[in-house]
Amino acid sequence: MSENFWETVQLALSIIKPVYKMMRFSNQDGPIIGEVCEKMDNMLGEIEDNLKEREDIFTVVKEKVFNWWNNTTFPLQCLAYSLTPKYYDEEYLQIPDPCGKKRCPPDQDDDIFEGAMAAICKLHQNDEQADTVRVQFMSFIEKKGKFSSPTAKRDARNPKINAQQWWKFHGGDTKELRNMAFRVLAQSISTSSVERPWSTYSFIRTAKQNILNANYADDLLYIHSNLRLLSRSRPEYEQGPHRKWDINPDISPVNECALKCEKMHTLGLDDESSVSKKDSHFQNPIQEIFRIVDGVPPDNHQSSDQSQVTGHRGGYVERGGGRWSQSVLVVDAT
């Protein structure tokens, strides 16, 4: 009910809203890596416009944004920004930024241009190839040859044509630069590569298959992700019964393995009904865990098959002595 509460909320929103819009932009697919630098400038300009009367707060926000941006900006982003044709369009440069300041092309920004040149040298280790690309890059900046055609200028500001398509249409005379533009602008900036392991993790650790500790689950996830990358370079990935197994869930061997794992019941670690079927002497799986941890031997009438290993997983024994069972049992008992 404080009168200052909603003023503080409005102040926080004036800072958070532009940041949120930037995060939403970067979490999408498509050749948008060349727009990151310009979107960051727009974000900072919008925050500055919202904090006109609070310059002290904007100074702090600007310092934190610059510190983060300097630590996360790579030459590849600068090169992608420099290869995006719409940022050289004269009509676009006449539109002021959110702060009302005049825009400038990427080649007139010293930091951006220096990062772009560093990226070109890194992508082309051969000096002759690097020189050829730099000469073609200058022709692109100065709009010489096909880059000066009215169609190329019109397509540069056409929102329906992205940067990759523009280079496909108008980069024929500079094949080396066009091929580099394809490679650079095709880089993804979305978080899908980070979110993908979570879907893979659901195959490894489920509600029924939850006795894995964090270290073993991470190792299995690491192995599975690398096997997926290796399998994509093999001919079996494009044809055969398991074609594109990591994309089509109907034929996924991962699903088959998950079903097999769920059918592998471990004595004392499953639900009460399955345990009672295997040995009615045990009341619940927790008591069975404590019996193994305390080292209490089973009853004499219990069969040896039930007190021994019921299966193997990842090369470690599930039940009995050893590294696997010790770590699992301690965690579950706790």
Q: Which pLDDT belongs to residue 247? A: 66
Joined together, the tokens standing for residue 22 give: 């930037």
Cβ atoms of 288 and 279 within 8 Å: the answer is no
Assign 98 a pLDDT band (cuts: 50, 70, 90).
Answer: confident
Cβ atoms of 221 and 201 within 8 Å: the answer is yes
Joined together, the tokens standing for residue 147 give: 């880059």
Question: Domain locations in the chain?
Answer: 3-185, 192-263, 272-333
Q: Which pLDDT belongs to residue 209? A: 66
**How far is residue 217's CA from residue 321's CA, in Å, rounded to a whole number?**
20
**How far is residue 215's CA from residue 127's CA, in Å, rounded to a whole number?**
46
Shortest CA distance to 32 belongs to which of 223, 24, 208, 6? 24
Assign 131 a pLDDT band (cuts: 50, 70, 90).
Answer: very high
Q: What angle do CA 293, 295, 300 make, to 5 degrees?
A: 125
**How far is residue 86's CA from residue 94's CA, in Å, rounded to a whole number?**
12
Average pLDDT over residues 61-72: 83
Average pLDDT over residues 127-136: 91
Summary mean pLDDT of the chain: 75
Cβ atoms of 328 and 288 within 8 Å: the answer is no
Beta strand 312-313 pairing with 316-317: antiparallel
List, in order, residues 6 or more apart from 293 with CB less than 8 Å away.
329, 330, 333
* pLDDT tens figures, 217-242: 888 888 888 888 888 888 877 887 77
User: Helix (H, G, I), strand (E, B), or coil: what is residue 252?
Assistant: coil
Cβ atoms of 119 and 180 within 8 Å: the answer is no
Can you say whether residue 145 is alpha, beta or left, with left for phi > 0 and alpha for psi between -120 and 50 degrees?
left
Cβ atoms of 308 and 319 within 8 Å: the answer is yes
Count Cβ neighbours within 10 Å for each residue of 299-308 and write b for 16 or more, e otherwise: eeeeeeeebe
* pLDDT tens figures, 146-171: 898 999 989 998 988 989 999 999 98
User: Helix (H, G, I), strand (E, B), or coil: what is residue 258?
Assistant: helix
Q: What type of residue sits at position 16?
A: I
